[in-house]
Amino acid sequence: MIIAVDGPAAAGKGTLTRRLAGHYGLRCLDTGSLYRSVAATLIAAGSDPQDTAAAVAAAETVDPRRFAASELRAPGTGHAASIIAAEPDVRAALLIFQRAFAARPPGAVLDGRDIGTVVCPDADVKLFVTASVGARAERRWLELREADPGAQLEDVRADLERRDARDASRDTAPMRAAADAHLLDTTEMDIDTAFREAVAIIDAARG
């Protein structure tokens, strides 16, 4: 079984994906970590995120385990990742990795921006997880404050809005809900409620 989980930044996709994978006995892949890993490779080498040749080379040998979670989750890495993610050749290289991952038994839950539309268009169930930008900014800010007590809510919100706009407007594999995706708005939900709702949607969709 393959479950696709797409949606904008900080909508709760990551936690939901891990819990769904545990519940259904599937493997899970945070595809954002692949784009972040390419970005982190370029940052570590002092390269520009616009350096397409360097980004493609990093994408062809991607391994998110090379970086600590704190490096991958840093706001600068997310920003560079969304610039790199607009490059078709980078996406093509990462597509190979993602499809190979999804194809291995017993199946997987993948979260990202284009899983239901491009990576796994034949996924058994597709979710598009959203929340208001205010709710998403607050969640991400609370997370970031643990590492950086000076983090400002307005900056976090502006960063999310910039990234969402770039992800939704790029020509190749823009972020959007697949026509057959089930929408899950988590604005008013805690993670336990969102998980229960997602399981209800998936179980109903599988009959």
Contact residues: ligand C5P, CB under 6 A: 9, 31-32, 35-36, 78, 81-82, 85, 112-114, 163, 167
- Minimum CB distance to ligand C5P, residue 88 (Å): 11
**Amino acid found at 170:** R
Q: Which is nearer to ligand C5P, 31 or 186 (CB)?
A: 31
Q: Which is nearer to ligand C5P, 113 or 139 (CB)?
A: 113
Q: Which is nearer to ligand C5P, 12 or 112 (CB)?
A: 112
What does the radius of gyration of the chain's CA atoms come to, in whole angstroms?
16
The backbone torsions φ and ψ at residue 3, rounded to the nearest 5 degrees and listed phi first, read -115, 125
Rounded Cα distance, 162 and 165, in Å: 5
Q: At what angle do helices 153-169 and 75-84 cross, to 10 degrees?
A: 10
180 and 115 in contact (C-beta within 8 Å)?
no
- Minimum CB distance to ligand C5P, residue 35 (Å): 3
Q: Which is nearer to ligand C5P, 35 or 128 (CB)?
A: 35
- Minimum CB distance to ligand C5P, residue 107 (Å): 18
- Minimum CB distance to ligand C5P, residue 197 (Å): 20
182-185 and 125-130: which strand pairing? parallel
123 and 4 in contact (C-beta within 8 Å)?
yes
